[in-house]
Amino acid sequence: MREFGYRRADDVHGAVALLDGDPEARFLGGGTNLVDLMKTGVERPARLVDVSRLPLDGIGPSEDGGLHIGATATNSDVAAHPEVRRRYPALAQAVLAGASGQLRNMATVGGNLLQRTRCGYFTDVTMPCNKRLPGSGCPAVEGEHRNHAILGASAHCVAVHPSDMGVALAAFDAVVHYETADGAQELALADFYRPVGDTPHLETALPTGALITGVTLPPAPVAAHSRYRKVRERASYAFAIGSLAAAVEVRDGTVHDVRLAFGAVASRPWRARAAERVLAGAPADADSFAAAADAELAAAEPLPGNGYKVTLLRNLVVSVLTELCEEAAR
Ligand SMILES: Cc1cc2nc3c(=O)[nH]c(=O)nc-3n(C[C@H](O)[C@H](O)[C@H](O)COP(=O)(O)OP(=O)(O)OC[C@H]3O[C@@H](n4cnc5c(N)ncnc54)[C@H](O)[C@@H]3O)c2cc1C
Ligand code: SF4
């Protein structure tokens, strides 16, 4: 067993100071991903700075009338919070669709955003993998890629981001707040994950040593009428093979406001902006929903083994938007 140091931080500044920008050190949230990766040797930190007990677990109104969710709020607390359930139901549903009750009780918001891919080559240290060992190659392109990306990937990495929560956060324009030695800063979730390009090992735009302190959801009346639909290979306790966070508001038969984000199709939660543009002002019917999905998925570049995801996502868009519109009309 590899020895590592462990310190528990008492406050935000102390946590940042303890980590001290050391690339060999890691913050420890609930540990449900990091500790697993340490057991298999994918992660080999010299030091852990435990941030799970920082007073960052609050969930409440933000200054602009939206909702702030602290970074150490557990996934269970997020899913159960009455304001999340009332104002952003797709977020509660997305969190509840992930992992198991025990894991959600431990897992934190910050850790969920930074969880690593479930690509089997990444988690197997005997295999090459550009994300784990830059320059070693990507065996998934020619090998097992059934669950891999169809959008925004590159020849250097075709892995998907596994978070369900992140998909709903992407749909609702979440902003990620973080702290470094230079003070508090923020990043739109849209800019949080870096494009894959030829650097799949560089996953986010966070500076080294940054502590995520929370996320804010801006006010979005449309989000109150939203849904998360996850498709997976068994009914529970499985990662998505495709998912959709959707919200829609219809006025006089046309789409007044719509939010769409896809999960398990890219290296990040995929905001479907091309589809949203097609739907703006369009008749709220199945033909428009299909045209919108087609517009987004026109950019898809499936591999030989995962073309099914194009059909899956198209069907998700049509069925979930149809459901939401029918419910609103009742
Ligand atoms: C069996 C199993 C099934 C799962 N199924 C799903 C699923 O279906 N859907 C899904 O979305 N997820 C699923 N998960 C993943 C789970 O959601 C993540 O493991 C969890 O959200 C990670 O949160 P954590 O607090 O435990 O993170 P940790 O494991 O503590 O940390 C993860 C990463 O985040 C960093 N980190 C943690 N907190 C901070 C912070 N505040 N600031 C900066 N960096 C930080 C750590 O350094 C580490 O790199 C599953 C996990 C398991 C083990
Ligand atoms: S898809 Fe990405 S994570 Fe998987 S083997 Fe290729 S480089 Fe590694």
Which tokens is 218 given?
């801006």
Per-residue confidence band for 308, with pLDDT thresholds at 50, 70 and 90: very high
CA distance 315 to 321: 10
Report the pLDDT value the prediction gives residue 282, as an integer from 0 to 100: 98
Contact (CB, 8 A) for 105 and 72: no
Contact (CB, 8 A) for 88 and 223: yes
- Tell me which ligand sits closest to the C-alpha of residue 123: 2
Asked if residue 111 has its Cβ within 6 Å of ligand 1, the reply is yes
Q: Class of the 223-329 domain? A: alpha beta
Going 283 to 289 to 290 to 293, the CA torsion angle's sign is positive
User: What is the rounded average pLDDT of the residues 198-220?
Assistant: 98
Average pLDDT for the chain: 97
> What is the DSSP-derived secondary structure letter of residue 129?
-
Burial of 40 (0-12, 13-18, 19+ CB in 10 A): exposed
Which residue's CA is minimally distant from atom 3 of ligand 1?
A: 99
Q: What is the value of pTM for the model shown?
A: 0.98
Burial of 135 (0-12, 13-18, 19+ CB in 10 A): exposed
Contact (CB, 8 A) for 70 and 56: yes
Q: Which amino acid is at 152?
A: G
User: What is the rounded average pLDDT of the residues 174-192?
Assistant: 98
The pLDDT tens digits for 292-303 are: 999 999 999 999
Asked if residue 31 has its Cβ within 6 Å of ligand 1, the reply is yes
CA distance 7 to 197: 35
Within 8 A by CB and 6+ apart from 63, the residues are none
Q: Decide if pLDDT at 164 tops 70.
A: yes
Tell me the Cα Rg of the chain. Answer: 20
Asked if residue 228 has its Cβ within 6 Å of ligand 1, the reply is no
Residue owning tokens 């973080």: 178
Which tokens is 175 given?
């902003």
Q: Decide if pLDDT at 147 tops 70.
A: yes
Asked if residue 147 has its Cβ within 6 Å of ligand 2, the reply is no
User: What is the rounded average pLDDT of the residues 61-71?
Assistant: 97
Asked if residue 212 has its Cβ within 6 Å of ligand 1, the reply is yes
Report the pLDDT value the prediction gives residue 166, as an integer from 0 to 100: 98
Where do the DSSP E strands lie in the chain? Answer: 5-8, 25-28, 47-50, 59-61, 67-70, 175-180, 183-188, 211-217, 226-232, 240-251, 254-263, 270-271
Phi, then psi, of 116 in degrees rounded to 5: -95, 165
CA distance 140 to 256: 41
Which residue's CA is minimally distant from atom 2 of ligand 2?
A: 157
Report the pLDDT value the prediction gives residue 237, as an integer from 0 to 100: 86
The CATH fold of domain 5-50? 3.30.43
Ligand 2 nearest atom to the CA of residue 129, by list position: 8
Ligand 2 site-directed mutation target among 40, 117, 147, 267, most atoms within 8 Å of CB: 117
User: What is the rounded average pLDDT of the residues 236-259?
Assistant: 96
Ligand 2 nearest atom to the CA of residue 149, by list position: 1
Which residue's CA is minimally distant from atom 6 of ligand 2?
A: 138
Domain parsing of the chain, residue ranges:
5-50, 223-329
Per-residue confidence band for 134, with pLDDT thresholds at 50, 70 and 90: very high
**From ligand 2's centre to the CA of 163, what distance in Å?**
17
The pLDDT tens digits for 75-114 are: 999 999 999 999 999 999 999 999 999 999 999 999 999 9
Ligand 2 site-directed mutation target among 118, 121, 303, most atoms within 8 Å of CB: 121
Per-residue confidence band for 2, with pLDDT thresholds at 50, 70 and 90: confident
Do strands 240-251 and 226-232 pair parallel, antiparallel, or not at all (unpaired)?
A: antiparallel
Report the pLDDT value the prediction gives residue 1, as an integer from 0 to 100: 66
Which residue's CA is minimally distant from atom 2 of ligand 1?
A: 99
Report the pLDDT value the prediction gives residue 236, as an integer from 0 to 100: 83
Q: What angle do CA 264, 270, 276 make, to 5 degrees?
A: 130
Which tokens is 116 given?
């690593």
Report the pLDDT value the prediction gives residue 223, as an integer from 0 to 100: 98
Residue owning tokens 């310190």: 7
Do strands 175-180 and 240-251 pair parallel, antiparallel, or not at all (unpaired)?
A: unpaired
Asked if residue 27 has its Cβ within 6 Å of ligand 1, the reply is yes
Going 289 to 294 to 300 to 301, the CA torsion angle's sign is positive
Asked if residue 119 has its Cβ within 6 Å of ligand 2, the reply is yes
Report the pLDDT value the prediction gives residue 152, as an integer from 0 to 100: 98
Residues in the chain: 330
Ligand 2 site-directed mutation target among 157, 193, 201, 267, most atoms within 8 Å of CB: 157
- Tell me which ligand sits closest to the C-alpha of residue 199: 2
